[in-house]
Structure 1
Amino acid sequence: MPLMRSLAGALGLYLALTAPAVMAGPRVVSADGAITETIVALDATDLLVGVDTTSHYPPQVVGPLPKIGYLRALPLEGVLSLKPSRLITTEEAGPAQTIERIAAAGVDVVQLPVARDVPATLARIERVGELVGHASEAQTLTGRMREQIEAVQATMAGKADARVLVLLAAGDHGVMLAGRDTAADALLKTLGLANALPDVNGYKPASREALLVSRPDAIVIAEARPGEFRADQWPGLTQLPAWQNGYHVAASAMLLLGFGPRLAEAMQTVANVIPDANASPATTAHAQ
C-alpha cells in the first residue's frame, strides 16, 4: 500500500506539471457605463467583479454585480475590497488621489479617453477588447457598428441642419438644457444636426423662456431613469410646434449620451423624429 500511494502521488505530480496551464482572465472593475456595456457586448461579462453606478445596462447582466459608487467619486476601499487586477475607466474618473492609491495597491488602472464622436467610440471599443482579451470580437463589433452608423447617416439627406433641442432629465439635478460641449451636442453632430441652443455652453437649468426661444424642429429628452421627465410639468415645452407635431422622443440618457456599442441605435432614435420638407407629422416616440 505505501508503494501504491507513492506511485499515485508521483503520477499526480507528473500530471500537474505536464497539464496545460489555465490562464485566468483579469478580475475587472468597470467604472463607466459605456465601458461596462462594451465588456458585456464582447461576451466578457465573466471577468467583471464590480461596476460603478452609471453601469445599468443591460440590467439583467449588470444588476447583480457589486456597485462601487460613482466614477467621479470612486471609494478606495470599495474598489480594493473586490480584489480587482484591473480597473477600466475613463479620464473623467476621480478623485485623482484615489486613482493613484488604487494603482499603488497593485491594480492596473486604465483610463481611456472620453468618446464624443464615431471614430473615438470605435477606437475605445477596440481598446476595451484588447484589455479583456476579446480583440477579435471587438473588431467584429466595430465593423458591424460602422455599417449601421453609415446606414443611419445616409437617411439624413434632406434633414441635415435641423434644429434640435435636447433636455437632460437628471433626477435630483432637475431638467437641464444641453448646450455646446456636451455629449448631447456631440450626438447631434454625428447626424449633421444643429443644436437649438447654440449660445448655451454645457448643461444649464431649463427655463420656460429658454424653451420658447429655442424654436426647435425636434425635441430629444435624455432620461437618467425611465419616466423621469414629466411633460405635464413643462407646458412651455409641450406648446412648442415640434412637440405638437409629434417630433419628440424620450430615451435613456445612457443610450443617447454614452457613446458605447449602442451608438447606432442612439443615432437612429434621434433620426426618427427629425422632420424633412415632405414629412407628415410624426407620432410620439419613446425609447429605452
Structure 2
Amino acid sequence: MNYQSKLSIALIVLAIVLSGMAVLLAYESYVTSQSVKGEVEALGKQISNASSQISALGTSLSSLQNVGTAIQSLNSTLSQRIDTLSKQIEELKYPIQVYDALNRTVFITQQPQRIVSLAPSITEILFAINASNLVVGVDDYSNYPPAVLDMVKNGTIQRVGGFSEISLEKVISLKPDLVVGSTGVQYKFVYSLSQMGITSLSLKTESIDEIFSAILLLGKITNHYQEALTLVYSMKQNLLSTYSLVTSKTQEKPSVAYLVWINPIFVAGGGSFWSDVLYLSGGTNAFQNVSQAWPMISWEDLVSANPKVIVLSEYAGGFSNATQFIAWARSQPGGNNIEAIKEGRVYMFHGELNDMASRPSPRVIELQLALSLILHPDVYGAKEVPNDLTLDEVMNLTSTK
C-alpha cells in the first residue's frame, strides 16, 4: 500500500472519529438541553401551581372578607334594630299605648298584677324576664321553664285551655288585668276578651325582629325592662356567634322544608320566624316565597320545591320517627326525586327541641344551633347526625365548638 493510500485511509478514519465525536457532542448537547427543558418545564409547573394557589388564596381571602363583611353587617343591623326598639319602648310611660297585631291601640294604665298568657311563647318570655310572679294563668301547652309546671301543680297558676281552644270563662274567672295572646287562631279570643272590657294584647312574633320587640315591650309593661334588654342582647350575641361560625366555614345554604303536619301538609312559610332562623343557621326556607306563616301545601308542592333537608314535627301525621316518614315518602309519586328523601336528610325533632320549633321565644337560639348542626355537621366535626334528634344530642354534638 503506497503512502497516498495510507493517507487516504487515515483521513477517512479521522473523519469517522470526528463525526463520532460530533455525534457524541450533539447527543450530549441534546441530553443537556432536554434536561434543562425538563427543569424549565418543572419550574413552569411549580410557578403555575404557585400561581393557582395564590389565586385560590386570593379567592379564599376575598370570600372570608365577604363573610366578615356580612357578619359585621348583620351585627350592625341587629344592634341598630335593638337600639331603635329599646329607645322607642324605654320612653313609654304609664299609661302605655300599644299598637298590637290586631291593628288596635291598647292602653295599659299601670303595671299589671294578674297576667294570663294564651301562648307557650308568651309564657316563656314572661318567665325569661323574671315576671313569673305576675302570671296567674297559662294555656295547656305552656310547659317551659320547669317552674311553670311547678306553679301549675301548686295552684299558683291555672290552666285556661288549649292554644286554639281557650276557655273564656276560665280566663274571666282569674280576674286578669292583662291577657296576652299570639296571632292566628288566637285573634278571636283576644278580641272577645277586649269586648268584655278586659285589657288584652295580641303580639306578632313571626320574625327575629318581632320576637325582640315582644320581649322588650313585655319587659316595659311588666316593669322588667332591664331584664328584657339584657335578654335581647344575649340572644343577639348567641345568634350572631352561631351564624359567624357557620358562614366562616361554608358558603352552602341548603333549602329546608319544615313540615308541621303531614295529612294535610302544613309547612313553615315565608311569613314565619323559621325563615329568619334558617338564614342565621346557614340555610334557606324552601317555601320562603309563600307569604303565609304556616300555609297548607300539596304533596306535589313539596316534590316541586325539592328541599335538600326536611325537618318534621314530632308525631307529624302519625309518624313516630323519621325512618317511617322516609319509607312512606318513597312510596308517594315523585317521592324518590326529593333530594332530602334520596340522601336520607330527614330529621324529626323530639321533646324540648320539638317545642322550640313551633315557639318564637327566647329559645330560638337553641333551635338555630340544632338547624346549623343538621345543615352543616362538618362545622361541628360531627360524622353523623341522628335522624331522630333531641336537644341533649344537639348540645352534645355541638359542645366542642
Is the 8 Å Cα contact of residues 51 and 67 (structure 1) preserved in structure 2?
yes
Q: Does the aligned pair in 1 maintain the 2:117–2:138 contact within 8 Å?
A: yes
Whether 1:56 and 2:158 are equivalent positions in the alignment is: no
For residues 365 and 118 of structure 2, the distance between their equivalents in structure 1, rounded to whole angstroms, comes to 22
Match of 1:188 in 2: 278
Q: Aligned partners of 1:177, 1:199: CA distance in 2, in Å?
A: 12
Q: 2:327 aligns with which of 235, 249, 259?
A: 235
Deviations 1:126-181 (A, max 9, x none): 111122221111111111111001011112312443111221147xx665344443
- Say if 2:389 is the partner of 1:286: yes
The runs of 5 or more residues in structure 1 that have no matched partner are 1-22
Q: Could you say if the C-alpha distance between residues 277 and 212 of structure 1 is closer, same or farther in structure 2, counting changes exceeding 3 Å?
A: farther
Partner of 1:38: 125
One of 80, 99, 103 as aligned partner of 2:194: 103
1:99-143 alpha-carbon deviations (Å, 9 max, x no partner): 34523544321222x122222211211111122221111111111
1:83 aligns with 2:184: no
Deviations 1:67-97 (A, max 9, x none): 212444533212101111111123436454x
Moved more, 196-205 or 100-109: 196-205
Q: Among the aligned pairs, what percent are the same residue?
A: 22
> Match for residue 20 of structure 1?
none
Corresponding residue number in structure 2 for 1:47: 134
Residues 131 and 215 of structure 1, relative CA distance in 2, 3 Å threshold: same
AA partner of residue 246 (structure 2): M
The yes-or-no answer on 1:256 pairing with 2:357 is yes
Please give the secondary structure, in 2, of the residue aligned with 1:57.
coil
Q: Which residue pairs with 1:16 in the alignment?
A: none
Residue among 111, 115, 122 paired with 2:212: 122
Secondary structure of residue in 2 paired with 1:55: coil
SS at match of 1:156: helix
Tell me if the contact between 2:206 and 2:271 (Cα under 8 Å) persists in the aligned partners.
no
Provide closer, same or farther for how the CA distance between residues 109 and 235 of structure 1 changes in structure 2, counting only shifts above 3 A.
same
- Equivalent residues of 2:256, 2:285 under 8 A apart: yes
Ranked by relative contact order (alpha carbons within 8 Å, sequence separation 6 or more), the top structure is: 1
Taking structure 1 as reference, are residues 215 and 205 closer, same or farther at Cα in structure 2, changes over 3 Å only?
Answer: closer
Instruction: Please tell me whether residue 166 in structure 1 is matched to residue 258 in structure 2.
Output: yes
Q: Distance in 2 between matches of 1:166 and 1:94?
A: 22
Asked if 1 retains the 8 angstrom alpha-carbon contact of 2:313 and 2:348, the reply is yes
CA distance in 1: counterparts of 2:315 and 2:161, whole angstroms: 16
Partner Cα distance (2:265, 2:186) in 1: 25
Contact 1:71/1:92, CA 8 A, preserved across alignment: no
Task: Name the SS for the 1:250 alignment partner.
Answer: strand
Within a 5 Å distance, the mapping from 1:206-245 to structure 2 comes to 207=299, 212-223=303-314, 229-231=320-322, 232-237=324-329, 242=340
C-alpha contact (below 8 Å) 2:129/2:227 kept by paired residues: yes
Structure-1 residue corresponding to 2:371: 270
The 3 A distance-change label for structure 1 pair 203 and 69 is same
- The SS at the match of 2:376 is coil
Whether contact under 8 Å (1:122, 1:142) holds in the other structure is: yes
* Count of aligned pairs: 260
Counterpart for residue 221 of structure 2 = 131
Change over 3 Å in CA distance of 1:213–1:103 after alignment to 2: closer
Q: How much has 1:37 moved relative to structure 2?
A: 0.4
Shift, 1:43, TM fit? 2.2
In 1, are the aligned partners of 2:143 and 2:149 still within 8 Å (CA)?
A: yes
* CA apart distance, 1:49: 1.0
Deviation (angstroms), 1:236: 4.7
Distance (whole Å) between structure 2 residues aligned to residue 42 and residue 62 of structure 1: 17
2:112, 2:178 within 8 Å by CA — same for their partners in 1? Answer: no
TM-score (norm 1): 0.73
